[in-house]
Chain A
Amino acid sequence: MNNLKYVGKPVTRIDGLEKITGAAIYTDDIEFGPNLLYAEIVESTHAHAIIKKIDTSEAEKIPGVVKIFTGKDFPFKFGLYMKDRYIFAQDKVRFIGEQIAAVIARDPKTALKAAKLVKVEYEPLPEVFNQIDALNNDSVIIHPDLGSYEHVPWFFPKAGTNIAHWRKIRKGNIDQGFAEAYFILEDTYKVPRYAHCAIETHVAIAKYDLSGRLTVWASSQSPFTQRHLFAEALSSLGIQHKDVRVIAPHVGGGFGGKAGVTMEILSAALATKLKGYTVKIRWNRAQEFYNTYQRLGVVAKIKMGVKKDGTITAMQHQLYWDAGAYVEYGANVVNAAGLSAIGPYKIPNIYIDSICIYTNMPPTGAYRGFGYSEFLFGLESHINRIATALKIDPVQFRKLNAIKEGDSLAYGAEMNPNGLLEAISKVEKEIEWGKKEVSDNPKKAIGKGFALFWKAPAMPPNASSSAFLKFNEDGSINILASAMDIGQGFLTVMAQIASEILSVPVSKIRVENPDTDRNPYEWQTVASHITWSTGNAVKQAALDAKEQIFNIVSKTLHLPKDMLYLEDEAVKCYTKKNFKLPLKDFVINGIQSEDGTYKGGPIIGKGVFMPEFSSTNSDPETSQGGHPNVHYTVGAAAVKIEIDKDTGKIKVLKAVEAVDAGKAINPDLVKGQITGGLLQGLATVLYEDIRFDEKGRMLNPNFTDYKIPTSMDIPDEIVPIIIEVAQPDGPFGARGMGEHTMLPAAPMIANAIEDALGIRLKSMPLTAEKIALEYIKTKHK
Chain B
Amino acid sequence: MKKTTEITFKLNGEIRNITVNNNDILLDVLRDKLGIKSPKCGCERGDCGACTILIDNKSVRSCLILAVEVDGHEITTVEGLSNQDITILQKNFVEMNSFQCGFCAPGVIISTHELLMNNPHPSKEEIKEALAGNLCRCTGYTPIIDAVIETSKKGGNKNE
- Please report A residues at the B interface, Cβ cutoff 8 Å: 10, 12-13, 15-26, 28-29, 31, 109, 196-201, 250-255, 282, 284-285, 485-489, 668-669, 672, 675-680, 702-704, 708-712, 714, 718
Contacts and interface: CB of A to CB of B under 8 A. Distances in A.
A185 to B, nearest CB: 34
A21 B137 contact: no
A22 B137 contact: no
B141 A704 contact: no
B102 A712 contact: no
Given A19-B99, A250-B102, A252-B102, A714 B140 contact: yes
B43 A676 contact: no
B42 A487 contact: no
B52 interface: no
Contact of B100 (A109, A487, A678): A487
Interface residues of B, number: 51
B90 A21 contact: yes
A357 B41 CA distance: 35
A252 B101 contact: yes
A346 B130 CA distance: 48
Interface in B3-54: 23, 31, 35, 37-38, 40-45, 47-48, 50
A672 B47 CA distance: 24
Interface in B67-94: 77-79, 82, 86, 90, 93-94
30 contacts: A19-B102, A19-B105, A20-B90, A20-B93, A20-B109, A21-B90, A25-B37, A26-B40, A28-B41, A29-B31, A198-B137, A251-B101, A252-B102, A253-B101, A284-B44, A285-B42, A285-B45, A487-B101, A487-B138, A672-B139, A672-B140, A675-B142, A676-B137, A680-B137, A702-B47, A703-B48, A710-B131, A711-B136, A711-B145, A712-B132
B43 A285 contact: yes
Contact of B105 (A20, A486, A675): A20
A709 B144 CA distance: 14
Of the listed residues B40, B101, B129, B139, the one surrounded by the most CB atoms of chain A closer than 10 A to its CB is B101
B47 A703 contact: yes
A704 B41 contact: no
Contacts of A10: 97
A199 B103 contact: yes
B44 A710 contact: no
The 7 closest A-B CB pairs, nearest first, are A252-B103, A19-B102, A487-B100, A22-B38, A487-B101, A703-B47, A675-B140
B47 to A, nearest CB: 4
Contact of A676 (B79, B90, B95, B139): B139
B42 A199 contact: yes
Contacts of A712: 128-129, 132
Of the listed residues B23, B105, B140, B143, the one surrounded by the most CB atoms of chain A closer than 10 A to its CB is B140
A664 to B, nearest CB: 13
Interface in B113-134: 127-129, 131-134
A15 B104 CA distance: 14
A235 to B, nearest CB: 33
Contact of A199 (B93, B137, B141): B137
Given A26-B103, A675-B142, A708-B137, A199 B94 contact: no
Contacts of B47: 702-704
B135 interface: yes
Nearest to B136: A199
B158 to A, nearest CB: 16
Contact of A703 (B45, B106, B143): B45
B95 A12 contact: yes
A200 B37 contact: no
Contacts of B23: 109
A250 B101 contact: yes
Contact of A12 (B50, B97, B132, B135): B97
A18 B79 CA distance: 12
A675 B139 contact: yes
Given A22-B38, A708-B137, A710-B132, A200 B44 contact: no
Contacts of B144: 711
Given A253-B101, A712-B128, A712-B129, A678 B140 contact: yes
Contact of A486 (B93, B97, B101, B109): B101
Contacts of A252: 40, 101-104
A105 to B, nearest CB: 15
Nearest to A682: B140
Nearest to A706: B47
A296 B79 CA distance: 40
Given A20-B102, A253-B103, A285 B44 contact: yes
A200 B101 contact: yes
Contact of A17 (B35, B42, B94): B94
Contacts of A16: 93-95, 97, 99
Contacts of B93: 16, 20
Contacts of A29: 31, 37
Given A22-B106, A200-B103, A711 B94 contact: no
B150 to A, nearest CB: 14
Contacts of B94: 12-13, 16-17, 20
Given A675-B140, A703-B43, 4 more contacts: A28-B31, A201-B41, A284-B44, A669-B97
Contacts of B100: 487-489, 672, 676
Contact of B128 (A17, A31, A250, A711): A711
Nearest to B99: A19
A96 B8 CA distance: 44
B86 A20 contact: yes
Given A252-B40, A284-B44, A711-B134, A21 B82 contact: yes
Contacts of A13: 94, 97, 99
A22 B37 contact: yes
Contacts of B78: 20-22
B101 A672 contact: no
Nearest to A219: B103
A251 B100 CA distance: 10
Given A252-B103, A668-B97, A702 B142 contact: no
